[in-house]
Amino acid sequence: MMTKQNSEIAKRRTFGIVAHPDAGKTTLTEKLLLFGGAIQEAGAVKSNKIKKSTTSDFMEIERQRGISVATSVMAFDYAGKKINILDTPGHKDFAEDTYRTLTAVDSVIVVIDVAKGVEEQTEKLVEVCRMRKTPVIVFINKMDRPGKEAFDLLDEVEQKLFLKVVPLSWPIGMGDRFQGVYNLFEERIVLFRPDNKQGRPEETIEFTDLEDPGLVRLIGQDAADELREEVEMIRGVYPAFDREVYLRGGVSPVFFGSAVNNFGVKELLDCFVRIAPPPLPRPTEERQVEPNEEQFAGFVFKIHANMDPRHRDRIAFLRICSGTFERNTNYLHVRQGRKLKFANPTSFMADRKEVIDAAYAGDVVGLYDSGNFKIGDTLTEGEELHFKGIPSFSPEQFRRVVNGDPMKSKQLAKGIDQLMDEGVAQLFTRGVDNAQIIGTVGALQFDVIQYRLEHEYGATVIYEPINLHKALWVSSADQKALDAFAERRRQQIALDKEGRMVYLAESAWTLQMAKDNHPEIVFHQTSEF
Ligand code: GDP
């Protein structure tokens, strides 16, 4: 018999939506929540978009970051499943946040704008999914607008995202002539009706035989001819959908729709609950952790500072990987080697949050934290486990940090330490001169750091430009060779916050030279290798 715990876990579907900004992620999220009854009306979900990429308005950045706490996890029930959507910032400067959030999901929906096709940010994010073999569903959005031909778009997805695709629905026309989709799986036509704000049921008509004359009456001769021809082609070109292959990340089903018009969203959701994986096992350095284990284990994948100056605490987001997490229960903080308990573990719903007594593998809970956690920390019932797959990524922007106020050096050190633990950026200390260098994925973080150091820690940081191209972790099977390399390249060697050796390359050329001259050294793009 299934225990309560295991039947709860079997119901969980935890996923993330990724997209290039403006593709329609927020709109789609909102429509999904509407179907789940988690919100009553459109407009309830705030975009977490950092709209400005200029540096002038720090408060605005902070305000918008604040919003993204509220939308960090959105849970709702649908068709007997408990669905957790983990929000991912679309702005490229916050890509690392998104990469880390992807460590906490079991599957992903990728939203693509039919007119723009596959965009840069989508490529990067899907690459991270591919690395982990995360199952991906593709939603082609904005079909009410003129865009690329469906076949071309699928080719683009295959070529740029390296995903094998199988269309499960097929558009009938697009833009002005968009009439709906043919659901290839269920062999029925779903008619498009614009402006379906409240998500009324879509009008669907069975068509097991596309030669049925009723088809011409329904969508017109031209569209019918086109659809028949295209469906024949699809059946010839693409394999039949196989859930097992999808679950291995080997094939991605594709849907077409229009999120803003609430079209195709229910189909996507209905398919999602049928095929998407329940909580998956997760690797630790010691062993694989299975969701149904009796004992609880989980890891912190995101830390959010509280924007309210009266409450200095932060919220650490914990993905539960096995068992049941309970309120007011002692758990082992593995890195610190001590027990902690939580009086107010919080679940985040679309428009509210609530303290929970228990949460299960697949869920995400927010833990109020006064500085105990850093990204990647593990909590267990006592076992010494270290979850893998939460690496830092090689940064691309660098500044040297200098203390702007000698009276406040302690505050500066503490602030930098905590911000780095939150995963805002990475700190490297260069061996030769002890220079402190902050590396980030995007330029916006430098402003966030400066602003927060000042407002939360009372410290002043001055940035000095530093001529660096990349920071890469280095290792070698031969310790002597690594020592010799570090000695010869002393000027370019630094340690990250965990004491791992990093090579600071001034240019692509010097990096290439170092690689050519030292074949015995391996250069890593991520801190986990
Ligand atoms: P995000 O940046 O990916 O979260 O994108 P948003 O959900 O904020 O959407 C960006 C813009 O596209 C907004 O103005 C939406 O109203 C619009 N949009 C979203 N879905 C559709 C759609 O299906 N058709 C059209 N025409 N516009 C859409």
User: Does 143 carry a binding-site annotation?
Assistant: yes
User: Does 478 carry a binding-site annotation?
Assistant: no
* Closest by CA position to 423, among listed 457, 398, 395: 395
Average pLDDT in the chain: 88
Q: Give the lowest-confidence range in 152-166, 269-283, 307-321, 420-434.
A: 307-321
Residues 265 and 317 in one domain: no
Residues 349 and 463 in one domain: no
Atom of ligand 1 nearest to the CA of 145: 26
pTM of the model: 0.87
Residues 108 and 255 in one domain: yes
3-state DSSP helix/strand/coil % of the chain, to nearest 5: 30, 30, 40
**For residue 401, what is the domain's CATH number?**
3.30.70.3280
Q: How far is the CA of 177 from the centre of ligand 1 (A)?
A: 19
Q: How far is the CA of 405 from the centre of ligand 1 (A)?
A: 45
What pLDDT does 210 receive? 84
Which token pair is 134? 């995360």
Would you place residue 50 in the very low, low, confident or very high pLDDT band (cuts 50, 70, 90)? very low
Name the residue at shortest CA distance from atom 22 of ligand 1.
Answer: 142
* Number of domain units in the chain: 3
Which token pair is 505? 């390359």
Sign of CA dihedral 367, 373, 378, 384: negative
* Closest by CA position to 394, among listed 75, 96, 190: 96
**For residue 103, what is the domain's CATH number?**
3.40.50.300
11 located within any domain: no
Residues 242 and 375 in one domain: no
Which of 276, 295, 327 finishes a domain?
276
Residues 364 and 430 in one domain: no
What number is the ipTM of this complex? 0.99
Residue 488 has pLDDT above 50, yes or no: yes
112 located within any domain: yes
Residues with CB under 6 Å of ligand 1 are: 19, 21-27, 47, 49, 90, 141-142, 144-145, 258-261
What pLDDT does 492 receive? 96
User: What distance in Å separates the CA atoms of residue 224 and residue 190, rounded to the nearest whole number?
Assistant: 14
pLDDT digits (tens, 9 = 90+) for 165-202: 999 999 998 888 899 999 988 888 888 877 666 666 67
Atom of ligand 1 nearest to the CA of 29: 7
DSSP class of residue 284 equals B
Would you place residue 505 in the very low, low, confident or very high pLDDT band (cuts 50, 70, 90)? very high
Q: How far is the CA of 259 from the centre of ligand 1 (A)?
A: 7
Three-class DSSP category at 314: strand
Which of 244, 276, 308 finishes a domain?
276
Residues 476 and 499 in one domain: yes
Most confident range (mean pLDDT) of 1-10, 65-74, 280-289 is 280-289
**Residue span of the structural domain in which 210 resides:** 17-72+89-276
186 located within any domain: yes
Residues 343 and 465 in one domain: no
DSSP class of residue 502 equals E
28 located within any domain: yes
Which token pair is 236? 């010839």
Q: What are phi and psi of 515, to 5 degrees?
A: -65, -45
12 located within any domain: no
Burial of 248 per CB tally in 10 Å (0-12, 13-18, 19+): exposed
Residues 460 and 515 in one domain: yes
Q: How far is the CA of 147 from the centre of ligand 1 (A)?
A: 14
Q: What are phi and psi of 183, to 5 degrees?
A: -80, 110
Q: How far is the CA of 123 from the centre of ligand 1 (A)?
A: 19
Compute the chain's Rg from CA coordinates: 25
What is the best residue among 17, 18, 26, 27 to mutate for testing ligand 1's pocket, by most ligand atoms within 8 Å of CB?
A: 27
* Closest by CA position to 100, among listed 109, 113, 87: 87
9 located within any domain: no
User: What distance in Å separates the CA atoms of residue 372 and residue 333, rounded to the nearest whole number?
Assistant: 9
77 located within any domain: no
Name the residue at shortest CA distance from atom 11 of ligand 1.
Answer: 22
What pLDDT does 309 receive? 57
User: Does 91 carry a binding-site annotation?
Assistant: yes
Which token pair is 88? 């991912």
Neighbours of 232 (CB within 10 A): 11
Would you place residue 55 in the very low, low, confident or very high pLDDT band (cuts 50, 70, 90)? very low
DSSP class of residue 258 equals B
95-116 burial code (b ≥16 CB/10 A, e <16): bbbbbbbbbbbbbbbbbbbbee
Residue 523 has pLDDT above 60, yes or no: yes
Atom of ligand 1 nearest to the CA of 49: 2
pLDDT digits (tens, 9 = 90+) for 435-444: 999 999 878 8
Which of 330, 355, 380 finishes a domain?
380
